Amino acid sequence: MNMLEVPLEIFRYKEGEPPHHDTFTVQVPETAHVIDAIDAVWAMHDRSLVFRRACHHSSCGSCSLRVNGVEMLPCITRVKDVWDGRAPLRLDPLRNFPVVSDLVVDLSSFFQRMSAAEMTITCDAESSLPLSVDDFAVSKIPSRAVELPVNLSRFNRFENCIECAICMSACPTMATDEKFFGPAALAAIFRARQKTDSPADVAHLLSLADGEHGVWRCHSAFECTAACPQAVDPAGKIMALRRELITRRFKKR
Amino acid sequence: MATLNYSRIRRTGRWVDVRRRKLGMWAYALNRITGIGLVVYLYLHLGVLSMLAHGQSSWDSFTALARSPFYLALDVILLAIILIHGLNGIRVALTGFDIGVRVQKRLFVILMLIAAAALVVAAAKIFAV
Amino acid sequence: MRSPQVLIVGAGSTGAATAHDLALRGFRVTVIERGEVASGTTGRNHCLLHSGGRYCVTDHESAIECIDENLILRKIMPDLLELNDGLFVAISESDLAFKERFLEGCATCHIPARDIPVKEVLAMEPFLNPGVLAAIQVPDGVFEPFRFCLAFLATARLHGADVRTYSEVIGFVRSTNCVTGVKVQDRRTGKSETIGADLVVNAAGPWAAEIAAKAGVRIPEVPTAGVMVALDCRLNNMVVNRLNKPSDGDIVVPQRATSVIGTTSWVVENPDLISIPPEHVARMIRQGEQLLPEVRNAPMRAKMAVARPLIARPGEDARQVSRTFECFDHASDGVNGFITIAGGKTTTARAMAERVADIVCKKLDVDTPCTTRELPLASYRLFYQ
């Protein structure tokens, strides 16, 4: 197994001290993911490094950060895919949220908005396999139809969105308007709206989207959709909400 | 607990940072910059038109200036700004109503190619004056 | 009179469920976790909500506990589960020979099991090995361990618990032969403080021995790691298990848009940094291919490894509460006010917490029953608000 000697420049911040970047060099296997390099820094070099992670397979959404300025999940990003072999890998926390320490940001405002969107994280599943968030992954595997087992009324699965807040960090409107609901929360409103029939719930969700800091604040940068590791397409969902809001305005006349 | 609002660029300037960003973000930043450019131009234009109120000689000296190569170059830049903002604006308007969202990148490229072509033709005509 | 203060070290499934139970019983609870919630063993688990089928032949007690808890979790966290059932499939003759005992085991352990004709199962799971010889459907499910822990902790917080993440226990406060508190360093600021407690519960998983050592106590813990491979696509709707005695790489757990093949087992020196052996990854792919041949064409999305907190010599020092986990009361080591919990699986975390909370009640002379079987958990999102 070949090893890589990877230099990392990691953002550091502890209360009362000025923020700065620390440089470390770690040895990781060539098949390592970025999270393995961060683990190596903490385990072998600096125990004071604070960072988030839990599942290591893009289901919890907790490890999100920026590598060389671009938002991604280090648990599914291989070192070889982001490292040019020479310059240090620069790790920074997400943008648009207050930094708690090092690579950890305060996501309370994010989760407040996700709660307000009231999207349940499970939904009805597709009736064909394979499923993937990566087009390329499934392009080689022909899809097959699936039959439900007799005792199940439906298949279900978790929503694509893992609440990693990458889209919130990438969004330029989030950078300029603190109260903007944000792509993840607006996409969640769209999903919640799709999953309910109750007119009262629909009206409530649409009024949230229609609000002062809702869908109309989006300026079509589409950065959220580009950065999302789970193919949620928040920009598309924001536009779909707009379409519905406009259609309803016309119908009322 | 105390947190840090960390940004290397002040909050209002953060949208300008297009380093390592995707096409949609470039379109957004371009639209904003050209928009500011158009607002600035509007004031300039009104200022120029106000010269009409100052009589024939004032206007004549302006039109002489307006034929200088430097000024014609500014005109081409202005045209570029109008084309970029206007054509991208069509894309923003369409996608904003959930039309063509899936092809927004292609749309941007095509519209900017049209803008470039129109600009080349127009620039040739402007400098032929 | 103020209610007793319990301090729990570790916010994995053990710590989270125990904090929840104790908070509901009126204890003042503080959870100290050095990383993010579930950043240790629990976070990287296989996400399988056991039906108990895996143990129904070899370990009846575990199997029954699994199916009982499976049904309880469906009630208390219904929106946090993928409930598509699971299959135990026979690929080889040896698997087929196991079927009889498996069905008997399910019946004995009251695990609903349905023997499915091969044609039907291939329609239900089109990517299953077409050479499948038999299949049995059981009520397996899938959860996310991170949100699982968040939900327990959010509920605990609503009942007054204080959860401190990024805080590390750096020492114990002792008075003669009793632990009266811990010294904690807030890793976000570097500052330390002392927190008093009537009882400290060590739920630090594979780091429990390290924590216990700080109190001068030895635990015969053997951190045992396992590798899992997550594919870039989901090839099965239902959990697919090999119909045989438990072995490496015999389960493929689907979740969201991935299928996760696991797992292996080897002892590790340092649970802080585990190097994933490439042979283990290759073995997972090979085993997975036997169940779902298309695994060989599916790109890999991620691989994870973490240490399980296994105990070397069960029974000697430990008070064995059940076959599934152990509780060490260090009073017998001369250190009062300090207990360690080891073992267990996330599926049965609530049951484990119930028994630990009963022990805590007895030690602190409190008589409040458990209410965690019925109470639906609060939204996991509330943890961060």
Give residue limits of the domains in chain B: 11-127
Q: What is the pLDDT along chain A (253 residues), one digit of tens a residue?
A: 799 999 999 999 999 899 999 999 999 999 999 999 999 999 999 999 999 999 999 999 999 999 999 999 999 999 999 999 999 999 999 999 999 999 999 999 999 999 999 999 999 987 789 999 988 788 889 899 999 998 899 999 999 999 999 999 999 999 888 899 999 999 999 999 999 999 999 999 999 999 999 999 999 999 999 999 999 999 999 999 999 999 998 887 6
A-contacting residues of B 11-30, CB under 8 Å? 11-12, 14-15, 19-25, 27-29
Question: pLDDT below 70 — which residues of chain C?
Answer: 1, 313-323
More confident residue, B7 or A133: A133
Give residue B17's pLDDT: 58
DSSP 3-state assignment of A144? strand
Could you tell me the pTM of the whole model? 0.93
Q: Which residues of B touch A219 (CB under 8 A)?
A: 28, 31-32, 92
Give residue A83's pLDDT: 94
* Closest Cβ–Cβ partner in A40, A62, A134 for C273: A40
Give residue B64's pLDDT: 83
Chain B: give the shortest CA distance to residue A99, in Å: 5
Chain A: give the shortest CA distance to residue B71, in Å: 33
Give residue A37's pLDDT: 97
- Cβ separation A146–C299 shorter than 8 A: no
Whether C328 and chain A come into contact, CB under 8 Å, resolves to: no
- Cβ separation C147–A76 shorter than 8 A: no
Give residue A243's pLDDT: 94
Question: What is the per-residue pLDDT across C81-133, written as a single tens digit (0 to 9) for each?
Answer: 999 999 999 999 999 999 999 999 999 999 999 999 999 999 999 999 999 99
Q: Which residues of A touch B104 (CB under 8 A)?
A: 220, 222
Q: Which residues of A touch B95 (CB under 8 A)?
A: 220, 239
Whether C366 and chain A come into contact, CB under 8 Å, resolves to: no
Average pLDDT, chain C: 94
Candidates B28, B87, B103, B109, partner chain A, best to mutate (most A CBs within 10 A): B28
Q: Which residues of B touch A246 (CB under 8 A)?
A: 97
Model confidence at B19, pLDDT cuts 50, 70, 90, reads: low
Please tell me the CATH code under which domain B11-127 is placed. Answer: 1.20.1300.10
A-contacting residues of C 94-133, CB under 8 Å? 114, 116, 120, 123-127
Whether C84 and chain A come into contact, CB under 8 Å, resolves to: yes
Question: What is the per-residue pLDDT across B98-126, written as a single tens digit (0 to 9) for each?
Answer: 999 989 989 999 999 999 999 999 999 98
Whether A246 and chain B come into contact, CB under 8 Å, resolves to: yes
Dihedral-angle region of residue A141 (phi above 0 means left; psi in -120 to 50 means alpha; beta otherwise): beta
Q: Which residues of A touch C166 (CB under 8 A)?
A: 50, 100-101, 104
Distances (CA, A) of B49 to A103, A214, B36, B44: 55, 40, 20, 9
Report the neighbours of C using a cutoff of 3 or more CB pairs below 8 angstroms.
A
| 3-class SS letters over C43-100 | HHCCCEECCCHHHCCCCHHHHHHHHHHHHHHHHHCHHHEECCCEEEEECCHHHHHHHH
Give residue C318's pLDDT: 40
Report the neighbours of B using a cutoff of 3 or more CB pairs below 8 angstroms.
A
Give residue A135's pLDDT: 81
Give residue B11's pLDDT: 45
Q: Find, in chain A, the residue whose alpha carbon is nearest to that of B102.
A: A236
Domains in chain A: ranges and CATH: 3-100 (3.10.20.30), 108-121+159-252 (1.10.1060.10), 128-158 (no CATH)
Domains in chain C: ranges and CATH: 5-42+146-220+312-384 (3.50.50.60), 48-143+222-309 (3.30.9.10)
Nearest CA among A35, A166, A162, A36 for reference residue A94: A166
Distances (CA, A) of A69 to A95, A111, A132, A166, A228: 10, 23, 26, 12, 15
Q: Find, in chain A, the residue whose alpha carbon is nearest to that of C12.
A: A54
Give residue C320's pLDDT: 42
CA distance B79 to C313: 82
Whether C44 and chain A come into contact, CB under 8 Å, resolves to: yes
Give residue C330's pLDDT: 94
Residues with Cβ within 8 Å of A121's Cβ and at least 6 positions away in sequence, in order, are: A158, A159, A161, C79, C80, C147
